[in-house]
Structure 1
Amino acid sequence: MKEHTSNGGEARLKRIVSADRDALPPDGGPGFNRLVFASSPYLLQHADNPVAWYEWGDEAFARARAEDKPVFLSIGYATCHWCHVMAHESFGDHEVAAVLNRDFVAIKVDREERPDIDDTYMRVAQLMNGSGGWPLTVCMTPDREPFFVATYIPKHSRGGMPGLVEILGRIAEVWKTRRELVHQNCTAILDSLRNLSVAKPGEIPGAEPLRAARSQLAGMFDPVNAGFGQAPKFPMPLNLSFLLRYGRRFGDPGATVMVVATLEALRRGGIFDQLGFGLHRYSVDSRWLVPHFEKMLYDQALVAMAAVEAFQATGQESLREMAEQLCDFVLRELAAPEGGFYSALDADTEGEEGRYYLWTPAQVRSVLGETEGELFCRLFDVTGKGNFEGANILNLPVLLHEFAQREGMSPENLEEKVEGWRLLLLAERAKRERPFRDEKIVTAWNGLMIAALARLFLAGGGERFLVAAEAALVRILRDLRRADGRLLRSIHRGEGEVPAFLEDYAALLHGLLALHDATLDPRYREEACSLARDMLRLFSGEDRGLYDTGNDAETVLMRSRVDYDGVMPSGNGLAATGLVRLGRMADEERFVEAGEEIIRAFMAGAGRQPVAHLQTLMALDLLRGPQVEVAISGGSRGKVQGMLAEIGKRFIPGFVLRGEPDQGRRATAQVCAAGACHIPVESPAALGGILDRVLDEGYPPPQQKP
């Protein structure tokens, strides 16, 4: 996995950014290409390539049309390891650049800045090749119609894989001599894309698709190592969130067991940074030992949310501690000084993947001393042989209390030692060259992180989590919103102009609702209503379901509606969930109806492939499942917070919170569930007792609609 790259690095990016762009010609001049004028960190990483890159836009396609050349599109992101490898091997190479500059018009796209472009051509990759990934390589006509798609391509042929130089030569020849074949491919691909983009409506069902999804997940579950499937293995937080809801709704402890086992395996594995916390992207093996070392903001947010909910469902303190560790990593490593959160940390340092995180026994002993160092090495699986290319990825093969018993120590003494060791080694690690940090602030990912922080605070986490969540919202509404109120997708160094997508609006709505529940501040409910109205106006069409791009934004090939989940929950699924929750909270039936229409729009697809539509199924569960309404009236902020803390201890998926603090009145809380309202109570303990009774009585569902 060691690959020398020249593409990352804070210093190199700062050199590019510090160039006097006002003094440069439009093509970047002799030292740069046109990407020197970009705002995306990923594009800036390629601004000194010899390839004459363009940003995506009319200028590039007009030139391709005028010169009758195909377009070479490369899609990636700033912390992508194999993007770095291809950049070093090919895009920084003058031989490859000469071919691209002669026979193609080359365009670079940051998938995180333009998910619409990435989604469109990734679907083409899956149609043509059965799979996709990054870097995504596409050749297309000047009309943006694709006819060749691949992922990483080495410079020259090796191991049966054709090389980029050879592929470019063949494509250029076919373009010149067999243009009719190119157009035939384009027509077939576009027809298939149109079929994929059609919504597949169905009736709102009962519990059948929920049960089918649970059954599929049980079949995918790894009973030995936990998690779902085999290598490469991803955390799959949507699986966890769905199973928690299923376990609560149907009284299914087996569903909850799969969640807890997976979170515990993640926490002990090499996929979890045992010193600095934070979760790496995925594990290349089935045991969670060897990660792909990049760290993404959305992974921290989604897994932290699942861990908070698992704590609420089980009362297991270690799960809340895991959520706190993930969020503390974000606050330490990804928080922007002005508020909000950066996107990611790279996998590579000093030209090698994972180097920043690896240890040898000698390195550990040099910091902790012989005796303590040996104990640390036994606990965290650090050996002379190593578990990764001669060095060691820290992991916990045995539980702390088991290790303490084996070593004749008390668990409390061991925990104290582990924290001391962690801080000492973390300080030593900080002296190493740090992974590149993508300082792009993405609205959708911040919305999810805001939600996770607010939910963690509500569940008993520290005040720092609420402070960070509120500061992030202030940043988004101030710096990622135009004067006309239109949200932006992202900014980097204060620059950004791409209009936000459906997932941005839906994820930010998610964050606003979580902040409302954590504070009962009416400002968050009002902002959520305004955002929901804008979302419905911008992304609705003639048919059911919402489009991924706004009606005021560019359409790439065709306006699409993605209903299936990827690394992020689907925008439509998030929107449906948020609209149903908001409608009930704000007593706005039109929002509930809009959420129901989204669910209906994609129910046929969700019925056929339940596991691919878990966010939509969670929206269905919210719509048709049991509701527990709590109305809190009066009271100071402290009194209200005591009431909210009782709610935060419990996992109640169909929870609806209403009310506003009023210091002129005594705080009271009233619970309504299963068609009956309980007598208002004035103490948090009394509220907790009622909630426990409601949950113990089986959380009965309301009458089903006909």
Structure 2
Amino acid sequence: MEKDPRHDEQARLKRIFSTDRDSLPPDGGEGFNRLIFASSPYLLQHADNPVEWYEWGEEAFARAQAEDKSIFLSIGYATCHWCHVMAHESFEDDDVAAVLNRDFVAIKVDREERPDIDDTYMRVAQLMNGSGGWPLTVCMTPDREPFFVATYIPKHSRGGMPGLIEILGRIAEVWKTRRELVRQNCTAILGSLRNLSFANPGEIAGDEPLHGARSQLGTMYDPVNAGFGQAPKFPMPLNLSFLLRYGRRFGDAGATAMVVATLAAMRRGGIFDQLGFGLHRYSVDSRWLVPHFEKMLYDQALVATAAVEAFQATGREFFRKMAAEICDFVLRELVAPEGGFYSALDADTEGEEGRFYLWTPAQVRSILGEADGDMFCRLFDVTEKGNFEEASILNLPGPLHESALREGVAPEDLDVKVHQWRSRLLAEREQRVRPFRDEKIVTAWNGLMIAALARVFLAGGGERFLVAAEAALERILRDLRRADGRLLRSIHRGEGEAPAFLEDYAALIHGLLALHEATLDSRYREEASSLAHGMLRLFSGDGKGLYDTGNDAEAVLMRGRETHDGVMPSGNALASTALIRLGRISGEERFVAAGEEIVSVFMEGAGRQPAAHLQTLMALDLLLGPEVEVTISGGSRDEVRGMLAGVGRRFIPGLVLREEMEQKAGIVTARVCAVGTCHIPADSPAAIEEILNRALDECYPPPTQKP
């Protein structure tokens, strides 16, 4: 029996994406709805639903007002597993569509394209329900005021959970007969939402918040499996980057050890793609074995950054290799032909989560042969019983050098074998039905990835990473910047309109500064300075930090201001870090002052919940910790790179790396200044490394084990 093409996701999406939209009427016509004209991959995934979806915009709200209907808002993203489930159960269902089309005006939003809308209503979900998630389901008035919020809702009632048709019927009845109750709910919710928008400034008085964060993370740490908390277990790269800085600043070997153990456990676990590299979203268990299989660009960027910092802090080649593997995955599977990086890979293929990544012993032996196949299965935990859905997620139960001893193979010989096996199995895997790729290019995520690639390059990772980072930057500045200089949030298939948010500006400045450090090309510093001026102009407001949305953009209920980190650092925290670094490199004190002001605004919250404000605390550490200034002048491009390589192999949180503003011809020299002393200029890579070692010994205490 042939598979229904409606449920063959790849074929369905290919049909939608290739539709000639110029031939369609404004409502999408037969077979489509208005989302067929969207740029977002997530919205396009719903373009053939029987639901009469609208994009977020005045047309939808005007219709709701005119027909006196409430809004049904559904927020998700293209690679969200439970978004797919709700779509197939309900939004592709004619009965559900009939209710929505009759009693509501339905709006779809891509949270990655419009994080302002998502952040606003996610705060409402957390206020009303104590938690949130995706798909996010909101019912609200035509004035955008919410009165009902939920996440995934099954079509029919089950397990004590009411079904969507039942819930929609109740909401429609309340809207028609108890409008005053709706208004009262909206008023109460909006009042609580406004209270969340205010930050209470604190003083930048000392290191106490840093110690508080170290203590809290130590309590959260899993000493058995590494990582933080239990199931589900997320990579939490901000935890790792903070602990590395804390370990260096205060000589805390225990803080560094938590990072080393966590990165090593992730690299060996099923959360890491052992064939194609890159990390899956999170582990559903506490052992890093069974992942939620989607792969997000921002996870790759932040974990690669933490891994290269671990290499710099410990000198262990394992971590530089891990960072390079993650970056190679991005360059192979998420890079756009015109430059820049796509957003994500879906978890599902052929309607099953993880199917693309699973193996059986028979499949392995058919490719590698009996002897090599059996050894691969022993090393990577491939068994007849399996560890997921009667097949196996590849993982390394122990380090490869230990496996080499057990197998009676020299470690270097096993490394060669493993490389060959991976190549052959990966080639075979490429013949399978591939997960859907969200080809939306998001400015913020590209900024983080540019920074990661530049840092891996600077640490000796390879020229290809610098080339890709520079190409991505060129793409962003060419295709995601309007003629007036205003950045855009994202594009897909060359289309995008939403103006960039604070996190986009801050992350791109972050990427530019990393490129400047990797090359000492003044163009990157100058571009960062220009963007920083624009960021402060667009997002500044009442002196209580920066707003998430620009003063030229739509305000959804109210202008939001994220006060704590999520999976990604908050826009304010990333902006403060970037501003401080930029101000010190460029000598523009205005930027340092602006960064310090942002840090002070969020210090009260950071004191109460330090682990939720780690990027802010890393900015605080920048302000309070020692600076190490390195100024390089003269020399050829290759000579300058030789000097930079010595810097890139060392973990220097307070690094201020500059090119001589008035470059002089002649021999390359590097001047290192730290803790009130400027050392004799170095004229070779060996000399700068020796001077940096002395300077770092003066700046930081030797590591000692702490609880």
* Distance (whole Å) between structure 2 residues aligned to residue 124 and residue 662 of structure 1: 54
> Which deviations, in whole Å up to 9, do the C-alpha atoms of 1:307-350 show, x marking residues without a partner?
00000000000000000000000000000000000000000001
Cα distance change, pair 209–608 in 1 and its aligned pair in 2 (3 A): same
The question of whether the paired residues in 1 share the 8 Å contact of 2:682 and 2:691 is answered with no
* Distance (whole Å) between structure 2 residues aligned to residue 344 and residue 34 of structure 1: 24
The question of whether the paired residues in 2 share the 8 Å contact of 1:5 and 1:88 is answered with no
* Distance (whole Å) between structure 2 residues aligned to residue 38 and residue 8 of structure 1: 21
The alpha carbon displacement at 1:21 in A equals 1.5
> Which deviations, in whole Å up to 9, do the C-alpha atoms of 1:420-478 show, x marking residues without a partner?
11001001100100000000000000000000000000001100000000000000000
User: Partner residue of 1:264?
Assistant: 264
Matched ranges for 1:203-352 at <5 A:
203-352=203-352
User: Partner residue of 1:704?
Assistant: none
* Distance (whole Å) between structure 1 residues aligned to residue 234 and residue 125 of structure 2: 21
Matched, 1:178 2:175: no
* Distance (whole Å) between structure 2 residues aligned to residue 642 and residue 366 of structure 1: 47
The 3-state SS of whatever aligns with 1:697 is: helix
Matched, 1:508 2:505: no
The question of whether the paired residues in 1 share the 8 Å contact of 2:6 and 2:12 is answered with no
User: Partner residue of 2:621?
Assistant: 621
The alpha carbon displacement at 1:243 in A equals 0.2
The alpha carbon displacement at 1:17 in A equals 2.5
The 3-state SS of whatever aligns with 1:147 is: strand
* Distance (whole Å) between structure 2 residues aligned to residue 557 and residue 94 of structure 1: 32
* Distance (whole Å) between structure 2 residues aligned to residue 67 and residue 605 of structure 1: 44
The alpha carbon displacement at 1:6 in A equals 6.0
The question of whether the paired residues in 1 share the 8 Å contact of 2:5 and 2:12 is answered with no
> Which deviations, in whole Å up to 9, do the C-alpha atoms of 1:613-644 show, x marking residues without a partner?
00000001001111000111111111100110
TM-score by length of 1: 0.98
User: Partner residue of 1:690?
Assistant: 691
The alpha carbon displacement at 1:153 in A equals 0.6
* Distance (whole Å) between structure 2 residues aligned to residue 158 and residue 472 of structure 1: 47
The question of whether the paired residues in 1 share the 8 Å contact of 2:675 and 2:699 is answered with no
The alpha carbon displacement at 1:402 in A equals 1.1
User: Partner residue of 2:538?
Assistant: 538
Which range moves more in the overlay, 174-183 or 309-318?
Answer: 174-183
Cα distance change, pair 598–42 in 1 and its aligned pair in 2 (3 A): same
* Distance (whole Å) between structure 2 residues aligned to residue 602 and residue 398 of structure 1: 42
> Which deviations, in whole Å up to 9, do the C-alpha atoms of 1:88-141 show, x marking residues without a partner?
000000000000000000000000000000000001111111111110000001
Cα distance change, pair 335–629 in 1 and its aligned pair in 2 (3 A): same
TM-score by length of 2: 0.98
The question of whether the paired residues in 1 share the 8 Å contact of 2:251 and 2:700 is answered with no
Which amino acid letter does the alignment assign opposite residue 56 of structure 2? W
The question of whether the paired residues in 2 share the 8 Å contact of 1:5 and 1:352 is answered with no
* Distance (whole Å) between structure 2 residues aligned to residue 407 and residue 601 of structure 1: 57
The alpha carbon displacement at 1:18 in A equals 2.2
> How many corresponding residue pairs?
698
> Which deviations, in whole Å up to 9, do the C-alpha atoms of 1:143-187 show, x marking residues without a partner?
000111111111001111111011101111111111111111111
Matched ranges for 1:19-38 at <5 A:
19-38=19-38
The root-mean-square deviation of aligned C-alpha atoms, in Å, is 1.3
Which range moves more in the overlay, 476-485 or 411-420?
Answer: 411-420
User: Partner residue of 2:705?
Assistant: none
Which amino acid letter does the alignment assign opposite residue 686 of structure 1? A
Cα distance change, pair 298–597 in 1 and its aligned pair in 2 (3 A): same
Matched ranges for 1:656-675 at <5 A:
656-660=656-660, 662=663, 664-675=665-676
Which amino acid letter does the alignment assign opposite residue 565 of structure 2? D
- Identity, % of aligned pairs? 81
The 3-state SS of whatever aligns with 2:131 is: coil
The question of whether the paired residues in 2 share the 8 Å contact of 1:289 and 1:393 is answered with yes
The question of whether the paired residues in 1 share the 8 Å contact of 2:289 and 2:393 is answered with yes
The alpha carbon displacement at 1:9 in A equals 3.7
* Distance (whole Å) between structure 1 residues aligned to residue 27 and residue 699 of structure 2: 67
The 3-state SS of whatever aligns with 2:639 is: helix
Which range moves more in the overlay, 405-414 or 497-506?
Answer: 405-414
The 3-state SS of whatever aligns with 2:149 is: strand
Matched, 1:484 2:501: no
The question of whether the paired residues in 1 share the 8 Å contact of 2:633 and 2:659 is answered with yes
User: Partner residue of 1:411?
Assistant: 411
The question of whether the paired residues in 2 share the 8 Å contact of 1:635 and 1:662 is answered with no
The 3-state SS of whatever aligns with 1:35 is: helix
User: Partner residue of 2:87?
Assistant: 87
User: Partner residue of 2:117?
Assistant: 117
* Distance (whole Å) between structure 1 residues aligned to residue 159 and residue 664 of structure 2: 73
* Distance (whole Å) between structure 2 residues aligned to residue 482 and residue 273 of structure 1: 38
User: Partner residue of 2:704?
Assistant: none
The 3-state SS of whatever aligns with 1:219 is: helix
The alpha carbon displacement at 1:199 in A equals 2.0
Cα distance change, pair 114–133 in 1 and its aligned pair in 2 (3 A): same
Cα distance change, pair 646–5 in 1 and its aligned pair in 2 (3 A): farther
